[in-house]
Structure formats: C-alpha cells, structure tokens
Amino acid sequence: MTRALIVKQYITRLTEGWLELESDPGLFTLLLEDFGVKGVQVEEIYDLQKSLEGPVYGFIFLFRWIEERRSRRKIVDQSEMYVNDEEIVNNIFFAQQMVPNSCATHSLLSVLLNCANIQLGSTLSRLKGHTVGMDPENKGWAIGNSPELARAHNSHAMPQAKRRLDKSSGVSTGRYTGEAYHFVSYVPINGHLFELDGLKPSPIDHGPWDNGEDWTEKFHRVIADRLGEKYNDIRFNLMAVVPDKRLALTHRLNMLRTNRQIVLDALQQLVSDRCEGGDEVSLVIGEEIKDYTTPIVIRTSEEDKFIVIRVPKGDKQEESQGLQRTFSPKDLLALLKNLDSEVSSTEASLREENDKRRRYKIDDCRRTHNYDEFICTFLSMLAEQGKLTELVVPPSVVPKKVVVTKRTQERQNKKKTKQRRRK
C-alpha cells in the first residue's frame, strides 16, 4: 500500500467520522485552542436578562431538533427574513452542514470567521482565504473535508459518540434523524443581526439594532421571542463567544502594579524631602481617582511640598494639557491602600480564570477517556473472586446466612448423640 493511499484513507476516516459533541463551554474553549485561535473563550449564559461585561463576538444557541417539528415550521419559515442575494450570502461566511455531526464546529466557525480583529491562527486563516466568494454548499464541504478541523473536533468527543456512530453506520444525529440537538450561531454583520444555521438554505437577517443600543440587546429580544414560541422545547443551552478574560485581567494587573510602584516612589521621595527640609507638608485634598488602572504620572512641587498627580487621557489634546490633581501624603496613603485592594482583587480573578481553564482540561480528559477496559477487568475480577453475585443479585434473592452460636451448636450435638444411642 502506497503512502498516498494510506494518507487518503486516513483523511477519509476523519472526514466521514465526525462525532457528536456535548454543549459545554470548556469543551468549546479547548476546541478553539486546538483550532489555533488565540485570545477567545466561550462562556455559558445562565440569565438572559443579565447584561454581559465587555464585547461579545457572537452567541451559540443549542436547541432540541425534532424532524416532525421541522415540517411544522415550514409555514413559519416562509415569513423569516432569508437573505437571497447571492453576492451578500457568498461574502458572509455561511456554510451549509454537509457532513453529519459537524454542527458544533460549524457554529464556532460561523462566529469566528465573520468577526474582525481575532487571531484565527494558520488553520482558520487558510480556510477563510480559501473559501472567499464560495457558495454555502462549497463552504460546507470545505469544512467537512478539513482533516485538521475533524481531528480537533473528534478529540473532544466521548467514547459513546464513537459507538453511536458505528451503530448508526454514519447516519447523522443532526440532519437526518428524528431527534437530536443542533447548534445555531447569532452574529453581528454590517450592522445587522444574522442567524446562521447550517441546516437552512441561507442566512436569516433579523435586521439592524436600534441607535444607541448594543447588538446584544437586539439578540436578547430575538432569542426571547424564539424561546416563547409554543413549538419550542424548554431544553436549550446558550453560550457566548467572548475575548479571553485572562488577557484583560493580566493587562489590568500590570497597570495596577505600575501605578502602585509610582505612588510608592512618590511617597518615598516626599518623606526624603520632608526629612531634609524639616517643614510640614501642606495638606491639600485633591480629586478622587476612580479608575486605578489609568496610567498616572506623579511629580513633587518644591514650593508647596505637595504631590501633583497627572492622569493622561485618551485624547491627545487633553493628554498634552494633562489633568492635574493635588494629593497630600494622607491622600497618597489612601490611594496606595485602594491600589493594594484592586491588585488583590484582580489577582484573585486571574487565579480563578486560570483554575477554570485547568478544570476544563481535567474534565476533558475524563470526558474523552474510555473506561470500558477498566470496567470489564474490574467486573471479571469480582466474578473470579465470587463477589459479583452479591453485588448484582438483589438482597431478597440471596439466601440469608444463619448464624449459629457455640451454645446452640453444643445443644444440637447433644441431641444428635441421644438419637444415635436410642437407635
């Protein structure tokens, strides 16, 4: 067998054997890492009414898919805002699901490849460049025939998913069976909220969001209407694709530590000047700094012996003028205390995010590990030692052991002896 044939068979097994994945934010976050994406994570949404902190790249909605329900929705589908303009559809990364069980990867790619300023990595960047201008069907085949994506996707599947695939002989759990769970993406594109579902012929345009509101508010209204429909099942899951919180926390922590060191240096300089001059330092109360991550510049005023803190702003004109605030040593000590509190709080948040990422990896190992061999060996050893029956058979079926005391045994022996003498 030639090397080319071996490679071809390997690729065929990968692309034809996509496995079903669970809806888990940790799994999706690790899948992003395997794709080569940096600076992005997936968070589960528990409360639709609660506003999200920071930017959101897109939402992934998991719902129960029933084929019978699909036929009942045909009339409803006609009123949905399908985008029929081929040029618009082909310029959006919208891919029809051509390969069974690949909807989890489809939902992630529908968000990632329609957002700017995301570090996609070499694999997804190559896929995005290769599929520019393609129609949805060819984009779907491009995803399904990508060995890198298939390998990363299947590496997070449970062993039961492989057994289900073998049993069904490759029939999809997402597109061709009567009941399954399906992933759909909601993404902001060119000022409009789009619903990208690989099982539908084209994207659905839910229209623009109102002036002065974020696109996520428009999404909340759309998803609330969808969950309120009488034909929908209450079992669903919602996840948000957001920037990696660890990056923002690390940047915040570095800025806080820098500002803390600046305040410490200013206090040391002030104490030194006070010792040399012997005069009391003027107590001048200044404005309170609310954002401790804002870069600050401190200098000492020789005339009045107080500290002036300059907080640069984003606007260049304001930055050139500077925002000067007068602080006394007492104020600086209070500022230092607040900075210490902010540093501790940010460090705790960063530790929590790192611990969460480690738990994701541990859960993934437990999810993908095949326990069949261990369980079979364990049960075989119990059977060999005669202990399996006690564990399997109900207690009412197992005959009870009669406990005979020593005194009872002596009585029985005497009784047997008398019976033998009579004979």
Planar angle of CA 380, 385, 389, nearest 5 degrees: 75
Model pLDDT, residue 188: 95
Model pLDDT, residue 15: 53
How far apart, in whole angstroms, are the C-alpha atoms of residue 96 and residue 385? 56
Specify the range with the lowest mean pLDDT, choosing from 4-13, 366-375, 400-409: 4-13
Measured CA to CA in angstroms, residue 212 lies from 52, 209, 218, 221, 246 at distances of 16, 9, 11, 16, 29
Query: Are the beta carbons of 16 and 170 closer than 8 angstroms?
Result: yes
Of 40, 129, 123, the C-alpha closest to 93 is 129
Mean pLDDT of 312-332: 60
Query: Are the beta carbons of 113 and 93 closer than 8 angstroms?
Result: yes
Mean pLDDT of 343-360: 95
Specify the range with the lowest mean pLDDT, choosing from 99-113, 156-170, 330-344, 368-382: 156-170
Residue 119 banded pLDDT, cuts 50, 70, 90: very high
Residue 26 banded pLDDT, cuts 50, 70, 90: very high
pTM of structure: 0.74
How far apart, in whole angstroms, are the C-alpha atoms of residue 46 and residue 38? 25
Greatest mean pLDDT among 62-71, 76-85, 123-132, 152-161: 123-132
Query: Are the beta carbons of 199 and 97 closer than 8 angstroms?
Result: yes
Higher-confidence residue of 280 and 314: namely: 314
Higher-confidence residue of 341 and 303: namely: 341
- Provide the angle, in degrees to the nearest 10, between the axes of the packed helices 329-368 and 25-35: 90
Question: Mean pLDDT across the chain, nearest whole number?
Answer: 78
> 20-243 architecture in CATH?
3-Layer(aba) Sandwich (3.40)
Of 172, 189, 176, 184, the C-alpha closest to 232 is 184
How far apart, in whole angstroms, are the C-alpha atoms of residue 158 and residue 366? 9
Q: Is the pLDDT of residue 335 over 70?
A: yes
Specify the range with the lowest mean pLDDT, choosing from 83-87, 143-147, 178-182, 314-318: 314-318
Active-site positions?
Answer: 103, 182
Residue 356 banded pLDDT, cuts 50, 70, 90: very high
Higher-confidence residue of 9 and 289: namely: 9
Quote the percentage of the chain above a pLDDT of 70.
Answer: 69
Greatest mean pLDDT among 155-159, 240-244, 270-274: 240-244
Model pLDDT, residue 118: 92
Domain with CATH 3.40.532.10 in the chain: 20-243
* pLDDT tens, residue by residue, 128-162: 999 998 999 999 999 999 999 999 999 898 887 66
